[in-house]
Structure 1
Amino acid sequence: MVSFPRLKFRRPLFAATAAGATAALLVSCAEPSGDSDAAATTEAAASQVTTLTVYTSEPEEKVDEINAAFMAANPDIEVEVYRAGTGDLNARIAGEKESGEIEADVLWAADAPTFETYKAAGDLAELQDVDTADLIEEAVDAEGFYVGTRIIPTVIAYNTDVIDEADAPQSWADLVDPKYAGQLVMPDPAVSGAAAFNASVWKNNEDLGEEWINALGENQPMIAQSNGPTSQEIAGGGHSVGVVVDYLVRDLADAGSPIAAVYPTEGAPYITEPAGVFEASDNKEAAERYLNFLLSEEGQKIAVEQAYLPVREDVGTPENTPELADIVLMTPDLQVVTDDKDAAVELFQNAMQ
């Protein structure tokens, strides 16, 4: 486990505003107070606010809740969000690099292989003041360029109005049974970072591999754009079985939808939805404060309330969720998965045609 020093809460903008405050004091001695003083105070306060730009694949309502709590605790920082699927985020970042430099301060999305790619390209800043002492080892990049913020396993989900619990598929191998032909739905790995990661994990798993992916394609799954539409399709009964991240199943079940999750016997691929700071950012101190909030007890309790498994063990887990220790997780070689992701996505797309 790697531990970085705790954030020092530096306020570099305050030095500049102090000079402005001194000047304002001198003026106030010579002139009576009035509307101009109120305007000057408002302008000075505004000048102290740092605007932090976050690129994320987090669902809108969840990231809005996190940001509201963060800004309440950090009134000198205003968070602006560009939200999209990981594939679209990667395309936006590539376009910005080609035309100049990356415009965001923070990337919070997807999986470790995505961040490994950005790290290798020199796009991520090495974290200086982010506290990882209370995190599980799986969430921490040993080199200190990014850090996981949730444990998000991919599971098999099924519609409980259509399929009885006793008849539900229990393994990835079950999904290639011809009886599921036309009943399956999955997210598109070209759009979803989690789905792309899964494709590479499956391809490089000795019990599944290319043979399993091709056999899965013979059952003609519906390919939804991302995990959100996939979960809705299962809950609505359009396709009664699917592959989706587990927290969406909990969200829908809690809302009364007929959907349940199975953690496959071979193990569940999982992502940690990392966060990192771009090297091109001019707001690295504020960006690291944002990461520290995501990892803090308060931030992780919000994650649990949002149906996520946390990356620290002192905040509990969502209701009716297995303990992380009771879930079989696939733990492949990260470098292999990273290097093979593009080939795995291509294999998956060809198999599903």
Structure 2
Amino acid sequence: MKRIIPAVAALAIVGLALTGCSAGSSGGSVQTADNGDLVIDGEVVATADVYKAAKDEGSLVFYTGGSETSEQQVADAFTDATGIDVEIVRLAPNKLQERILSELSAGQLGADLIRISGEDLIAQLADQKAFQKTELSPDISKALIPEAIYDDGLYFNSFDRVYSFAYNNQVVSSDTAPKNWADLIKPEYAGKLGIVQVGAGGSTAALTRFQLDTLGQDWLESYAAAKPRIFDSSASLTDALSRGEIGIGPVPIATAYSAVLDGAPLTIATPEEGAAAYPFYLGETSSTKRPNASTVFINWLLSSAGQELAASIGDYPVHTGLPNPTIGDIGLPAADDGFVHRATLQESLDNLQPDASLWSQIFGYTG
């Protein structure tokens, strides 16, 4: 069932004050045990034979629907920790899905690993046998929340990303800036808003479900009545928001924070009504030519080192016992503290098409 937890006090994070902060790119303290196992921050990430074979493979290709900036931080940290290079192919989840399915049908899937949001997308990839099971290190496996592992390791939830909203603090005065979702439908923000179209991926599906379920259809209709500019991806909306082409828009916290670190004048809000959480799924492809490097990467991503990196840019880890996510020096609310609204995989699938149809009708969107 979806967790709807009591509202928390609103918190605004001023982007310009955070531009000097780093999300961190260290893979943790690396040690090789006497037997050759790869040990990072006290966790066995790979046995000696797997790690040696992974280093011999030398690199891997990572298809992702995540933020280009944040995924590059991940790739750099992994390479620093292991010596294994990562080539990133980044597209919006719906476009990435099209590419993956096309390559699968031609028997030429180029990815060793895939990370993507969207319950319908991951279910389709699993049905098309895009993945093979990955063996986790016992240290990693026992540290994960049960909901992180699907089909005995066929794929995983690598973290929960949160969809809130942000505003350009050079366009919208902090004195009159919105703090809550209810503020966004005030008349003074008409003409300054943006939104990503509902079919862009799991993120927008989760956002729409949250908005309909928590804020209500009347709220969404009022937002649409303000004639927001509609974007094809959160990356393109964030770019327009950073340039001041729009003043306010819903955006994943990690995507907005990556822009802040690049100098964008954005303020990220954690509204009283909460925000939508959505998983980023991760799987090793059945066609990988680098199975050992892929296995090491998945174990590292799910280790405390990989999960701490995710948390440092505002994502909620699936590794137990880690601190709450942060944005610079600001801590986000705990996962069970009222801010995060989640739907189960089945709830997401059940509502996907009805929500998309209703959203398109409300916004007059034909794609």
Band of TM-score, shorter chain: 0.7 to 0.9
Equivalences, count: 315
Corresponding position: 1:181 with 2:190:
yes
Letter of the structure 1 residue corresponding to residue 157 of structure 2: G
1:335 alignment partner AA: Q
Match of 1:334 in 2: 345
Aligned to 1:349: 360
Give the aligned partner of residue 223 of structure 2: 216
Contact 1:297 1:315 in 2 (8 A): no
The Cα of 1:300 is off from its aligned counterpart by: 2.8
**Correspondence for 1:229:** 236
Which secondary structure does the structure 1 equivalent of 2:76 belong to?
helix
Q: 1:199 is matched with which residue?
A: 208
1:86 to 88, 93, 108: 93
Q: Take 2:67 and 2:263, find their aligned partners in 1: how far apart are those partners?
A: 19
Q: Which amino acid aligns with 2:61?
A: T
Between the aligned partners of 2:191 and 2:151, the Cα distance in structure 1 is 43
Q: Deviation above 6 Å: which 4+ runs of structure 1?
A: none
- The 1:10/1:129 distance shift into structure 2, 3 A limit, reads farther
Structure 1 counterpart of 2:100, one-letter code: I
2:60 matches 1:52: yes
2:71 maps to 63
* One-letter amino acid of the structure 2 residue matched with residue 270 of structure 1: A
TM-score, normalising length from structure 2? 0.72
2-structure distance, mates of 1:72, 1:173 = 44
As a proportion of its length, which structure holds more helix? 1
Higher relative contact order (CA 8 A, sep 6+): 2
Separation in structure 2 between the aligned mates of residue 12 and residue 266 of structure 1, nearest angstrom: 45
Identify the residue that residue 21 of structure 2 maps to in structure 1: none
* Deviation for aligned residue 1:254: 4.8
Cα offsets for 1:139-192 (capped at 9, x unmatched): 444753322333321112123344455644344344334443222112233334
**What percent of counterpart residues are identical?**
23
SS for the counterpart of 1:238 is coil
1:1-353 → structure 2 map (5 Å cutoff) = 7-11=46-50, 48-75=56-83, 77-100=84-107, 102-129=109-136, 131-136=140-145, 139-141=148-150, 143-165=152-174, 167-203=176-212, 205=213, 207-209=215-217, 211-254=218-261, 257-306=264-313, 308-312=315-319, 313-314=321-322, 317-318=325-326, 319-325=329-335, 326=337, 328-353=339-364
Cα distance in 1 for partners of 2:49, 2:123 equals 28
Separation (CA, whole Å) in 1 of partners of 2:301 and 2:74: 8
296 and 264 in structure 1: CA distance in 2 versus 1, 3 angstrom threshold = same
The alpha-carbon deviation at position 96 of structure 1 amounts to: 1.6
State which drifts further: 243-252 or 302-311: 302-311
For the residues of structure 1 that align with 2:363 and 2:260, how far apart are their CA atoms? 28
List gaps (5 residues or longer) in structure 2: 1-43
Larger radius of gyration: 1
Matches of 1:64 and 1:165, distance apart in 2: 31
Contact 2:241 2:248 survives alignment (8 Å):
yes
Contiguous gaps of at least 5 residues in structure 1: 15-44
- Name the structure 1 match of 2:36: none
Q: Structure 1, residues 209-262: CA drift from partner, whole Å, max 9, x if none? A: 4x5433322211111232223223334333222100112333444555442222
